[in-house]
Structure 1
Amino acid sequence: MKILVVLALLSAVQNVILLLSETMNIEVLIWNMETFQSINTSEGHSLLITDVRFKPSSNLFATSSFDRTVKIWDAERPNKSLYKLLGHSEQVMSVDFHPSKSELLCSCDRNNEIRLWNVTRFSCTRVSKGATKQVRFQPRCGKLLATAARNSVSLIDVETDSLQFYLKGHTKDVLSICWDASGKYIASVSEDSARIWSAMSGGKCIHELRSDGNKFQSCTFHPGYSQLLIIGGYQSLVLWSPTESDKTWSVPAHNGLVAALADSQRTEMVASASHDQCMKLWK
């Protein structure tokens, strides 16, 4: 049975990894990082899963899918999802939990629609526009929501739903965005470049790195070295330290595109998932 690993996520609570794999159907695989034993969910999505995020300080996680739904799961009892959120009319591309408001979940679809959900009441609380690829709440305070749409990134005030900063500079579509742990900086990658922006300086681009043909795909800040950005490309990880004279290190990692990266602040580990059917842990 062929497994195409498309996403990975490290839990901040338990020593587990979530892998989303494409078989005949779409399912979630849960791996214990200590025993390396896996659990397959009996229920999945009917189409490709696009994103997965843990609820802060919780065993709950959410998945989004091309089947236009968002599902909520419990990592301790993963055989079946707890509930399904309906409302998107197009493929749901991304999902994220608010860092401090435990009931607040955000999702976006290919039709540029953003939805805020109350996961306690299983209801949609707001619908707006501004994201087609990815949504990520600002760490800690969650005041800002970063959204990726086409070749730009927007920073939106969560309370007022007002655009604070519009980050434009990529020539190709933005494929991945991530905040640093402090919530002061946000990184974005497109196929041909990576950029770091300062949320404290009006969304100014403060660093840029060209891919030189490597085809950047994913990114995450290193959990132990806050100024080090890890970029997933074709077969390799690029470690970029823009504060050290733009130093870069290329690490052979996979035999295919590195589709997703995830980090754990607790263990300071990084997970990479690739189209070569492999997931790897890095320390």
Structure 2
Amino acid sequence: MGKWASKHKKGISKKAKAYSAPENNDGQTKPLPTKQFSPNPVKFHHSDAVTCVDICREVCVSGGNDGTIILQNIRKDKLVNRFSGHNREVTKVCLHRGTGNCVSASRDKSIKVWRDSKEQCRLTGHELSVTGVAFDSALCRIWSGSRDNTVRLWDVESSNCVAISKLSRNLVTDLCYSPEMNLLAQTSEDQTLKLWDPRNVECTFTFPTQNQILTSCSVSDSICVTTNNGFSGQGCEICIWDLRQRRLLHSLKEHTETVSGCKFIGRHLVSCSHDATVKLWSQNSDSKWSVCSNLHPSAGALSSLSVADDNTILICSYDKGVLLINMSHNTLTF
């Protein structure tokens, strides 16, 4: 797990809470009476903390601090497969939407492609932990980013690195490929969001430096969301960027600790944080974003999230494994 996450492993003793928050006339949210929930984590058979997750329909993949990768059918609560392919923490996992094959990255400096429950290839060359990974729709090209300040392009069939770019202080924290925009979005510990030409991994644009480390990114159409490191209410932001106009649209400040993930879900955004909360965001008629639902699952610091469809979310917890969350009528529930 990242260095900004290790100190947040301890569980939080507050009871699980959920509320749906309509807006007042001034645009501020007003919590409804709290409801109590007792979430049951999905059984992912890891022997240590779950660090990353991805989901497609009913099948999900998770990576753990124990170096294992687990494929599971969450609706049937059935273990599909278990891979022991890395000898250090798995940092990222990605499912291929068409085939169910997956890619994993690790602190052991390698990337692996898994097809039909077997290791197809192992990509090596990074000098430090691989902290970002993405691929095209055919799973022929893979892009990776690392703490070694490089972004690389790999040919899966030959297992060769075909392009590499190195930028000073560019300690990669996440990568996201957008086929619609034909670009790579990348976040870094140098506090910037960068855009890359995926054909030759050439950096084409760097957004203004933020006040905190950027921890993750996600792209939908021409909009990118990034999340920020922080503590005690300082930093802890979600930034929404227009990739065409190359400008910051909104900065959302509701979390009180590092925001570890944020994804699009329908017309909403869902985020998770080391403050142990999951928040659902919506836009009002003035295009202002606010929290419309909030969960406190009493599961400790939350490390990652993935969205299956318009109402199913998986959240990783360092303490409680993986939580299955539903969205219905602008409200999050277990």
Match of 2:325, as an amino acid? W
Distance in 2 (alpha carbons) for counterparts of 1:238 and 1:170: 22
SS in 2 for 1:256: coil
The 8 Å contact of residues 69 and 85 in structure 1, kept in 2 or not, is answered as: yes
Distance in 1 (alpha carbons) for counterparts of 2:202 and 2:108: 29
Q: Which residue of 2 aligns with 1:155?
A: 195
Matched, 1:177 2:217: yes
Matched, 1:92 2:133: no
1:254 deviation in Å? 4.1
The 8 Å contact of residues 27 and 40 in structure 1, kept in 2 or not, is answered as: no
- Per-residue CA deviation, residues 251-274 of structure 1 (Å, 9 max, x unaligned), is 223421110011124x64211111
The 8 Å contact of residues 153 and 200 in structure 2, kept in 1 or not, is answered as: no
Q: Which residue of 2 aligns with 1:49?
A: 90
Structure 1 residue runs without a partner (length 5+): none
Q: Which residue of 2 aligns with 1:129?
A: 166
SS in 2 for 1:35: coil
Matched, 1:204 2:247: yes
1:17 deviation in Å? 0.9
Distance in 2 (alpha carbons) for counterparts of 1:73 and 1:172: 35
1:155 deviation in Å? 1.0
Q: 236-245 or 147-156, which moves further after superposition?
A: 236-245
Distance in 2 (alpha carbons) for counterparts of 1:254 and 1:97: 34
SS in 2 for 1:145: strand
Matched, 1:215 2:252: no
The 8 Å contact of residues 196 and 205 in structure 1, kept in 2 or not, is answered as: yes
TM-score relative to the length of structure 1: 0.87
Higher relative contact order (CA 8 A, sep 6+): 2
Matched, 1:282 2:325: yes
Match of 2:278, as an amino acid? L
1:186 deviation in Å? 0.3
Distance in 2 (alpha carbons) for counterparts of 1:195 and 1:34: 33
Query: Considering only CA atoms, is the larger Rg found in Structure 1 or Structure 2?
Result: 2
Change (3 A) 1:143 1:277: same
Q: Which residue of 2 aligns with 1:107?
A: 144
Q: Which residue of 1 aligns with 2:232?
A: none
SS in 1 for 2:244: helix
- Per-residue CA deviation, residues 153-180 of structure 1 (Å, 9 max, x unaligned), is 1011223544333122521100111112
Q: Which residue of 2 aligns with 1:247?
A: 290
Distance in 1 (alpha carbons) for counterparts of 2:217 and 2:237: 12
Counting matched residue pairs gives: 267
Identity of aligned residues (%): 19
Distance in 1 (alpha carbons) for counterparts of 2:200 and 2:162: 13
Match of 2:176, as an amino acid? R
Structure 2 residue runs without a partner (length 5+): 1-45, 230-235, 327-334
The 8 Å contact of residues 56 and 97 in structure 1, kept in 2 or not, is answered as: no
The counterpart of 2:227, out of the listed 176, 185, 189, is: 189
Distance in 1 (alpha carbons) for counterparts of 2:84 and 2:319: 24
Distance in 1 (alpha carbons) for counterparts of 2:51 and 2:121: 23
1:197 deviation in Å? 0.0
Change (3 A) 1:242 1:167: farther
1:245 deviation in Å? 3.0
